[in-house]
Amino acid sequence: MITMENIIREGHPTLRKVAEEVTLPASEQDKETLSLMIDYVKNSQDPEVSEKYGLRPGIGLAAPQINVAKRMIAIHVVDEKGVQHSYALFNPKIMSHSVEKSYLTSGEGCLSVDRSVPGIVPRYARIRVKATNLDGEQIDIRLRGLLAVVFQHEIDHLNGIMFYDHINESNPFQEPENAIAIE
């Protein structure tokens, strides 16, 4: 299983690399890695398991964070209605996005960043994503709200981008114009 020991931290060069496309159909090894990634994300949100193994809770994980420079992401979010949204994806690609922006009022964090970096992280409010899931099926989804934010955070990792790269240095809490605040 993946634990915090497997998660590399800022300063490690892999976090600043552009990850390689996964050759499809995915190899057994790539499928095993992605399966372990979604397990981590789910385990990290389980109070008992996360406590037992010292897992820092995360709503997503990107392969570069476990030092695998491949385009794989895992996301598990329980929305405000209690609905679970789970994605284990190869080669996710943002096909289009809104002009309108959104941001989490609480800011963002990262399992690879062992410090708090306060500030507003502007994201596209709505995105359309194409990818291939763990079962080898192509998906084409439209996202908004927290899910859209998490997908952008994870896809950024595949391009060597950290959430704080988006924070306005001179005024970290400057609200982007024409943006939706997500509580």
Ligand X SMILES: OCN(O)CCCc1ccccc1
- Least distance between ligand X and beta carbon 25 (Å): 25
| Binding segment (CB under 6 A) for ligand X, from list 15-23, 58-66, 77-85, 86-94 | 58-66
110 binds Ni ion, rule: CB under 5 A? yes
109 binds ligand X, rule: CB under 6 A? yes
| Binding segment (CB under 6 A) for ligand X, from list 19-27, 30-38, 52-60, 134-142 | 52-60
Bridge pairing between strands 60-62 and 72-78: antiparallel
> Minimal CA–CA distance to 73: which of 49, 53, 92, 56?
92
127 binds ligand X, rule: CB under 6 A? no
Instruction: Tell me the two tokens of residue 177.
Output: 């114009």
> Minimal CA–CA distance to 109: which of 183, 51, 56?
56
Q: Which amino acid does the sequence have at 132?
A: T
Residue 53 main-chain phi, psi, to 5 deg: -105, 5
Among the options 154, 169, 177, 183, which is catalytic? 154
Bridge pairing between strands 126-133 and 138-144: antiparallel
Known active-site residue 154 = yes
Instruction: Give the footprint of ligand X on this chain (CB under 6 A).
Output: 58-62, 65, 104, 108-112, 149-150, 153-154, 157
Which residues does the annotation mark as catalytic?
154
